[in-house]
C-alpha cells in the first residue's frame, strides 16, 4: 500500500526545499513512496536521483500531472500556492497539499502541522477530510516546541515573546545581503582596525556612516541589518501590529486547537518581533505567566521531558554563552531552552530564552513528518 503513494515536490531547490530534501534523504523518507519532482522553469530536465523517483522534471503549473499525485509538498512560496492550489482543488483534486507557505494556514479547512504538539488534532482533521496540511510560522513553531512541557501541563496563562529573528526568515537573498553588509562595514574601517592605536570613536563614526550610506547593499532589507537591528518583521497591519506578531497568537491557538486569540479559553501571546543579524536561528525571550507557582526544578523537568528535541541549558553564564546561541544551534534539530528563572513581578512569572533553527523545526521538519504521518495513516 505504501509503495503506491505518489508524492510530488515543488520548490525543492530553494532554501527551505533544499533543507527538506537533505532531511528526507538522511531519514530515508524517499524509500517509502514514489517521488515526482516539479519545476516551474526546467521541465524535462533530469530530476534528483532519489529512491523511487521519476527520471524527469514535470511542469509545476501542469494541473494534470500535479493531479496524479496523492500528496504534493511545496516550498515554492505563497504566490505559487495562491495561483495553483485553488485551480487544482477546483478541478476536483482530493490529495494532500503539504505547504510551507502561510497562504492557506488560517483557512477553516486547513490544519497547521506541528505533530509533537498537535498529532491528535492532525489525525482527527485528516479523518474528517482535511487535505491542506500547512507548516506553521517558524517563530511560532519554535516557541511552542520550547514551551511544550508547560503547555502539556496546562499551566500557561499568557506569554510575552520578544523575538530575535535571523536573516534566513526573510529569504536566501537576505542572508547574502547580511554578509555583504558585514563586509562593507568592515572594509570601511579596514586600515584603522589594523592600527591598534587608532581611536575607537573615529572607527565608530566611519562605520555608522557606512551603515547609513546609500552605497551599503540594502536592496533586500531596505536598511542595515549588520551592526543594527530591524524592529519590524513582515507586513504592517496598520494597527501597530506586525503580521509576524499577529501570527504568534493566531497560529499558536490554531495549532493547540484552542479558540481564537482573545476569546475565552485562548492562549494570549503578545510581543515584538525583531530581525537581528543571525544567519538561520530564531531566538526568543519569553516572559511566561504560569497559573501555578511551580518550583523551578519541576518547571525544568516539565520542559526537558516534553519532547526529544528540547535541551535545557543551565542558567549560568558559561552554559548560556556556549549553548544557548544561534551559532551553536544552527543546522541542528535541537531546541535550546535556558535563562529559566522566577521573576520579581510576582508568583508564577517565569523567564525563558529559546533558540531554534528556523529552517529545520521552523520550516522543513514539520512538513516531512506530516508526510510520514500520512504514510502511517494509510497503513
CB of 264 to ligand HSE, least distance (A): 28
370 binds ligand HSE (CB under 6 A): no
Site for ligand HSE in 139-178 (CB under 6 A): 165, 169-170
φ, ψ of residue 370 to 5 degrees: the values are -65, -40
The catalytic residue among 58, 85, 148, 282 is 282
Cβ-contact 137, 244 below 8 angstroms:
yes
CA distance 178 to 221: 9
* Nearer Cβ to ligand HSE (138/226): 138
138 binds ligand HSE (CB under 6 A): yes
The catalytic residue among 138, 148, 273, 281 is 138
253 binds ligand HSE (CB under 6 A): no
Mention every residue, 6+ apart, whose C-beta is less than 8 A from residue 101.
74, 75, 76, 77, 78, 80, 81, 134
* Nearer Cβ to ligand HSE (364/371): 364
CB of 14 to ligand HSE, least distance (A): 13
For ligand HSE, the binding residue among 99, 132, 234, 357 (CB under 6 A) is 234
Catalytic residue flag (residue 273)? no
Catalytic residue flag (residue 282)? yes
Mention every residue, 6+ apart, whose C-beta is less than 8 A from residue 12.
18, 20, 21, 37, 48, 73, 75
CB of 138 to ligand HSE, least distance (A): 4
Burial of 246-277, coded b for 16+ CB within 10 Å and e otherwise, reads: bbbbbbbbbbbeeeebeeeebbbbebebbbbb
233 binds ligand HSE (CB under 6 A): yes
Q: Which of 165, 148, 202 is nearest to 280 (CA)?
A: 165
CB of 135 to ligand HSE, least distance (A): 8
Q: Please report, as ranges, the residues that interact with ligand HSE according to CB under 6 A.
A: 137-138, 165, 169-170, 233-234, 244
> Looking at the annotation, which residues are catalytic?
138, 282
Amino acid at each position: 500500500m505504501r509503495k503506491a503513494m505518489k508524492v510530488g515536490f515543488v520548490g525543492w531547490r530553494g532554501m527551505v526545499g533544499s533543507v527538506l530534501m537533505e532531511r528526507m534523504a538522511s531519514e530515508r523518507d524517499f524509500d517509502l513512496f514514489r517521488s515526482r519532482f516539479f519545476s516551474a522553469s526546467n521541465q524535462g530536465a533530469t530530476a534528483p536521483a532519489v529512491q523511487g523517483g521519476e527520471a524527469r522534471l514535470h511542469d509545476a503549473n501542469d494541473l494534470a500531472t500535479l493531479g496524479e499525485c496523492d500528496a504534493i509538498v511545496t516550498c515554492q512560496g505563497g504566490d505559487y500556492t495562491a495561483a495553483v492550489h485553488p485551480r487544482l482543488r477546483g478541478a476536483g483534486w482530493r490529495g494532500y497539499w503539504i505547504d510551507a507557505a502561510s497562504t492557506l494556514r488560517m483557512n477553516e479547512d486547513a490544519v497547521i502541522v506541528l505533530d509533537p504538539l498537535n498529532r491528535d488534532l492532525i489525525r482527527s482533521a485528516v479523518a474528517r477530510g482535511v487535505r491542506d496540511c500547512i507548516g506553521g510560522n517558524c517563530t511560532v513553531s519554535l516557541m511552542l516546541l520550547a514551551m511544550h512541557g508547560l503547555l502539556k501541563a496546562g499551566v500557561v496563562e499568557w506569554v510575552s515573546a520578544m523575538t530575535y529573528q535571523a536573516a534566513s526568515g526573510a529569504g536566501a537573498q537576505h542572508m547574502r545581503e547580511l554578509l555583504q553588509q558585514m563586509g562593507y562595514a568592515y572594509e570601511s574601517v579596514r586600515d584603522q582596525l589594523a592600527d591598534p592605536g587608532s581611536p575607537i570613536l573615529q572607527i565608530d563614526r566611519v562605520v555608522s556612516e557606512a551603515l547609513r550610506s546609500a552605497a551599503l547593499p540594502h536592496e533586500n532589507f531596505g536598511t542595515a541589518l549588520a551592526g543594527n537591528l530591524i524592529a519590524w518583521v513582515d507586513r504592517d497591519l496598520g494597527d501597530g501590529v506586525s503580521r509576524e506578531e499577529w501570527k504568534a497568537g493566531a497560529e499558536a491557538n490554531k495549532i493547540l486547537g484552542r479558540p481564537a486569540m482573545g476569546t475565552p479559553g485562548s492562549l494570549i501571546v503578545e510581543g515584538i518581533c525583531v530581525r537581528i543579524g543571525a544567519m538561520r536561528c530564531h531566538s526568543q525571550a519569553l516572559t511566561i505567566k504560569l497559573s501555578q507557582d511551580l518550583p523551578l526544578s519541576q518547571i525544568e523537568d516539565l520542559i526537558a521531558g516534553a519532547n526529544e528535541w528540547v535541551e535545557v541549558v543551565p542558567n549560568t553564564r558559561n552554559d548560556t554563552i556556549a549553548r544557548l546561541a544561534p551559532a551553536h544551534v544552527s543546522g541542528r534539530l535541537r531546541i535550546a531552552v535556558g535563562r529559566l528563572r522566577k521573576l520579581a513581578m510576582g508568583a508564577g512569572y517565569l523567564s525563558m530564552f529559546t533558540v531554534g533553527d528556523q529552517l529545520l523545526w521552523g520550516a522543513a521538519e514539520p512538513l516531512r513528518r506530516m508526510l510520514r504521518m500520512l504514510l502511517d495513516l494509510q497503513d
